[in-house]
Amino acid sequence: MDFNLYLAISKIKHKRPACTTLFGCFILVLVFINAVPVLAQTLPEKAAADTLLQPLVVMEADTIATDTLPKGPQYKSPIATEIVYDARDSIDNDVINKKVYLYGDAMVTYGTITLQAAYIEYDFGSYTVTAAGVQDSAGVWSGLPHFKDGPNEFDGFDMQYNFKSKKAYVRKVFTEVIEGTLTGREVKIVEGGDIIYVRKGEFCPCADPNAHTRIKVGRMKLIKNDKIVTGPGYLTLRNIPTPLAFPFGFFPNTEKKQAGILIPSYGNGQQQGYFLNNFGFYAPINEYIDNKILADVYSRGSWGLNNLTNYNRRYKYQGNLNLQYFVRKQGDKELFNYSQESSFNVGWRHTQDIKAKPNSNFSAELNAGSSNIYRNNLNSTQNDFLSNTFRSSIRYQQRFYDSPWSFNINAGHDQNTNIGSTTNPEAVYNFILPELAVNRARTFPLDGLINDNPKQRAYEKIGLTYSSAFQNRLMANESELALNNWDNLRNNFRNGVRHGATLTTSLKTGPVSINPSFSYNERWYFSTISRTFDDNIQGFVPDTISGFDRNNDWNLSVSATTKVFGMYTFRTGRIKAIRHTLTPSVSYSARPDFDARVFGFYGPNGTLGSYSPYDGAVFGGPPSGQASSLSFTLVNNVEAKMLSRNDTASKFMKVPLIENLTGGTSYNFAADSLQLAPININGRTKLTKYANINARALFEPYSFVAEPNATGTAANIRKVDRFYFGNSGKLASFETGNVAINANGLNNKMFKGGRAASEEAVVEGKDGSGEPLPAEPAKSIVRVFEIPWSINFGYSLDARRMRESIMLPEGFGIQESFEIRQSLQVNGTLEFMKKVKVSFNSGYDFETKMLTPTTLFFVVDLNCWEFNARVVPFGERKSFNLALFIKSSMLKDLKLEMNRNLGQGENFFF
């Protein structure tokens, strides 16, 4: 036996009982003495015995040499770490052939490497370990080798591994790779598992390793955390070859982002022809940013581009930037029906993590562009297609530590895309560029100024708030937004500064809370409006006058509120009490007349009229007319106290019957007529745990009359200073109202029967102990087949009183009618056998007796594969999309897809 054998054995650590270990060591000592006498003579007797009886560790050659012998050349063993092995049945040591045999749940551990199998053989001479399973009398294999090296794991039929070269040879290997499993007839593993060569391999791109989808290849090379390169291969389904074959394969084998081409979807549209959608390129720029460029191409000339950039820096910020440009062509150039229209859109969303900068925040929600972008882009979603408004807001907020002051900068726009009507022939854009605001939170400037007593006096409770804002606004039509029209746009900018300050306090007088307040507002403008006479049109036209101008107004108010409670108790029944809470509130406000109108002969044809210098100003002008009004509001809340059905710590529970029912009106003492305001009533409550109802109504206390015009051929309807009660005996007339019922989260679990364990029934009768006998629990119905579902719906009912004048023998009268509108919106999902999921979004308009825009979604889980369908069954965007694809994101471009946009008169499939 050579010296290498000794070093290999000295690195083996047994996990056997002590007697077996000592007996094995004794046999090894005898063999060493007889077979290697020279080596035995170089070791002191005491040292040799201790070395073999102690736990074996790695030893270099010079550690066992004596001082009497010259030191030879140092030997470096290729085994750098101790080898630990164990077996359930037995361990046989073949010293002559330099081998160890392990039987029954054998295991060998070497550093990060662990090998388990029913049978393991280790060769000290070649540093090779061989593992295999065992076969019983029925031919069933068990204990097949399992190899693990750090994160890499392999299962095989039989396996060999060399500790020196770190190469493994596996037959019929089975292992997990990125989003799938890999099997191979013959496998060679080198470089510690970083590189794997496979012959006659099969790749299953599914979470289920027993799935019947396979990609078979003759040869394959896997590079850890890099890529998979294959030779020729083909796809099989249940071992049936498919025509889908490829000469070579290149697949990513890493969780890191990889650049690559995005495979498009295809289809046929009635107006645009055949198309390719979402064809493009994906590129990860760095660990924080990635970019995707997509293109849509149509056979009849239309095309579009879309650039989507996503960024995310953890604990700091995240967002995305979306740039779209689309050109839609319709008709033929040689015919009169040809048209070409281009559109664009810019979308930017940015949010900042609140932990990054607690005292400042920057956010953006930008959505601006052509009003027809989603109507031109046939690839837009149904929700985008139905949208008629765009809004944007870019805001920076700065708060100062231990200070009531804050600073805001805001820019944004509001865009109405509902074009084509007579009242709005073009889309209207409202821009705010920019708005600067300074705010001061509520402070108490008199607190502690004179009084040193900790108890606050009334004047010390006076709080002050202040706000100031500069705003620059532009309103323009879509056709006016062009660089060559900048001079006109610049002249249309309106700007100004608004200041506001409020003093408030709160006083307590018994059960009544009194809250007086004083508000002051001031507006600064750098230009005003005047009217000059134009000789050409013989009329007055507005004229802009540059220069600083200011106006102001103030308001004084005081309110008083309290709470009144009423309780009604029940002696029997589950309901124990009903409590009614009333919250009346009375407030009075006064404001002088700040009317800034200019009176003169400014009306049509030089008649007497008036105008305001602040018409069209950013913050408007001061309110006109004196106000001295008294307002009254009554809030009602009704709830019941009931016995709980559940076995909880509290046996009572509160159930709201009416969460809120509010009514209110006001009376203006300063008005010369119509002093009483309309009566507003609104309320809300819960119908069930899943449904709630909201209602509002407006009642008019005055009457309406029909007055003939100057020619006497028609009549105008107006409100007069005569109470409705005098004509009809009713307090007020109903004018408008709305009832909305919303139900969310309705699902199949709501209707599951069965009685709770805490409510087990008790029957009459006594046993030997004299106690009541519990009833036998009801037998539960086993639901063999259950369809999970969920549904949300919203119902809305609007009513409005309509008045029109009619000719009567004695003059003009009023004919009244009610206009009622109802609508229902429904969305939900159904799931069949956990494999088929159906979603829908629809509604019904009771006035037109038609369904609202409807979309159906179907998703079928086919294990490795997934089939989904999106269907718009009717309407302007009548279409369908069918797709069959592998769920693995690595092979998501392996799909079969069918898209078709249909017209109103075209069937779905014929």
Which token pair is 213?
């989808």
Which token pair is 893?
């471009």
Per-residue confidence band for 878, with pLDDT thresholds at 50, 70 and 90: confident
Residue % of the chain over a pLDDT of 90? 24
User: What CA–CA distance (Å, rounded) separates 272 from 877?
Assistant: 13
Which token pair is 679?
């009566």
Per-residue confidence band for 492, with pLDDT thresholds at 50, 70 and 90: confident
User: What CA–CA distance (Å, rounded) separates 880 from 900?
Assistant: 6
For helices 18-35 and 45-53, angle between their N-to-C axes, nearest 10 degrees: 140
Is 885 within 8 Å of 892 (Cβ atoms)?
A: yes
Which token pair is 609?
């009229």
Higher pLDDT among residues 454 and 442, named by residue: 442
Q: Assign 3-class secondary structure to 598-637.
A: EEECCCHHHCCEEECCCCCCCCCCCCCCCEEEEEEEEEEE
User: What CA–CA distance (Å, rounded) separates 259 from 27?
Assistant: 63
Per-residue confidence band for 768, with pLDDT thresholds at 50, 70 and 90: very low
Which token pair is 27?
């046999």
Per-residue confidence band for 647, with pLDDT thresholds at 50, 70 and 90: low
DSSP for 520-542?
EEEEEEEEEEEEEEETTTTEEEE
DSSP for 868-894?
EEEEE-SSTT-EEEEEEEES-GGGTT-
pLDDT tens digits, one per residue of 688-709: 888 899 999 999 999 998 888 7
Distances (CA, A) of 246 to 205, 249, 279, 884, 891: 16, 7, 21, 19, 14
Is 283 within 8 Å of 259 (Cβ atoms)?
A: yes
Per-residue confidence band for 634, with pLDDT thresholds at 50, 70 and 90: very high
pLDDT of residue 376: 58
Q: What is the CA radius of gyration of the chain?
A: 43
Of 591, 594, 596, 672, give the one whose Cα is nearest residue 627: 591
Is 899 within 8 Å of 908 (Cβ atoms)?
A: no
Which of 163-177, 255-269, 648-662, 736-750 reaches the highest mean pLDDT?
A: 736-750
Average pLDDT over residues 501-514: 92
Which token pair is 608?
């007497």
User: What CA–CA distance (Å, rounded) separates 123 from 251?
Assistant: 38
Distances (CA, A) of 871 to 274, 853, 877, 884, 909: 18, 11, 10, 15, 12
Is 176 within 8 Å of 142 (Cβ atoms)?
A: no
Which token pair is 640?
């019941």
Kindly report the average pLDDT of the chain as a whole number: 78
pLDDT of residue 502: 95
User: What CA–CA distance (Å, rounded) separates 183 from 174?
Assistant: 4
pLDDT tens digits, one per residue of 93-123: 888 888 889 998 898 888 778 888 889 998 8
Amino acid at 716: N
User: What CA–CA distance (Å, rounded) separates 909 from 184?
Assistant: 44
b (16+ CB within 10 A) / e for 195-204: ebbbeebbbb
Distances (CA, A) of 597 to 497, 616, 621, 853: 20, 13, 9, 49
- Which residues partner with 260 through β-bridges? 282
Which token pair is 392?
């944007």
Q: What is the DSSP letter of 625?
A: S
Which token pair is 462?
């006076």
What element of type H or E holds 384?
A: helix 382-386
Beta-carbon count within 10 A of 136 CB: 8
> For residue 759, how far is the Cα from the chain centroid?
40
> For residue 59, how far is the Cα from the chain centroid?
61
pLDDT tens digits, one per residue of 151-189: 677 777 788 888 877 777 777 666 666 667 777 777 787
DSSP for 687-756?
SSSSEEEEEEEEEE-EEEEEEE-TTSSSEEEEEEEEEHHHHHSSS-EEEEEEEEEEEEEEEGGGG-----
Task: Match 């361990």 to its residue by tokens.
Answer: 91
HSE at residue 546, side-chain half, CA atoms within 13 A, is 2
Per-residue confidence band for 471, with pLDDT thresholds at 50, 70 and 90: very high
User: What CA–CA distance (Å, rounded) separates 848 from 843?
Assistant: 12
pLDDT of residue 38: 32
pLDDT tens digits, one per residue of 37-65: 333 333 333 333 333 223 333 333 333 33
Residue % of the chain over a pLDDT of 70? 80
Distances (CA, A) of 777 to 204, 562, 756, 770, 774: 50, 52, 10, 21, 9
Per-residue confidence band for 427, with pLDDT thresholds at 50, 70 and 90: low
Residue 762 has pLDDT above 80, yes or no: no
- Which residues partner with 872 through β-bridges? 879
